Amino acid sequence: MPCYKIDGVTPVVHPTAYVHPTAVLIGDVIIKERCYVGPNACLRGDFGRITMEEESNLQDNCVVHGFADSHTIIGKHGHIGHGAILHGCVIGRDSLVGMNAVVMDNAVIGEESIVAAAAFVKSKFVCDTRSLLMGSPAKVLRQVSDEELAWKQVGTSEYIALTDRCLTSMVECSPLNVEEQNRPRLKTGQHKTKS
């Protein structure tokens, strides 16, 4: 993966974490145990610190950054969907930020919360535990239900398993020219779209 030291500060990646080779890490980035960082994610710790707590995931094309002296934190079991942007904010333990959502500076997303896809969370916004946020600007719609939280947790557990799968079986290869006969199917988790 492209990994860059700046001003003498080097990114830290725990050996049980998986960072895709196309992700970029710069400076004050700390990725803890069993985290997953997807393709083309960018973690720019060239002003403020970025920490991914244990078993959190940051999916494809996400951007994480912050102003000077900020500390962007993705809490344990945090789940950050494809294309999301986090800037100088705190994502609470076991929370989900949906695809293409934006969470701005000094915002604090409470534990076990869900930020809907494409939501825009303004600077300094703070919400309680188990808040469901939607809209632009995002507002608390209601509390996250037990069923919704359980659905989120299944998805996060599948990303924890994906970390292990990537560490043990993902290798760069050349594509085949034709589909092979009896092509195998991936036998992975049971997480499905929420209906």
Tens-place pLDDT, residues 106-149: 999 999 999 999 999 999 999 999 999 999 999 999 999 999 99
Report the distance separating Cα 174 and Cα 74, nearest Å. 34
pLDDT computed for residue 33 by the predictor: 98
Q: Which of 112, 114, 107 is nearest to 86 (CA)?
A: 107
Using the predicted structure, report yes or no on whether residue 165 has a pLDDT greater than 60.
Answer: yes
Position of tokens 């398993």?
Answer: 161
Q: Which residues pair with 102 in a beta bridge?
A: 85, 120
What sign results for the dihedral spanned by CA atoms 168, 160, 65, 40? positive
pTM here is: 0.94
Using the predicted structure, report yes or no on whether residue 195 has a pLDDT greater than 60.
Answer: no
Burial class (CB in 10 A: 0-12, 13-18, 19+), 12: middle
Cβ-based neighbours of 5, under 8 Å, separated by 6 or more: 11, 27
pLDDT confidence band for 35 (50 / 70 / 90): very high
Residue 195: both structure tokens together: 């209906």
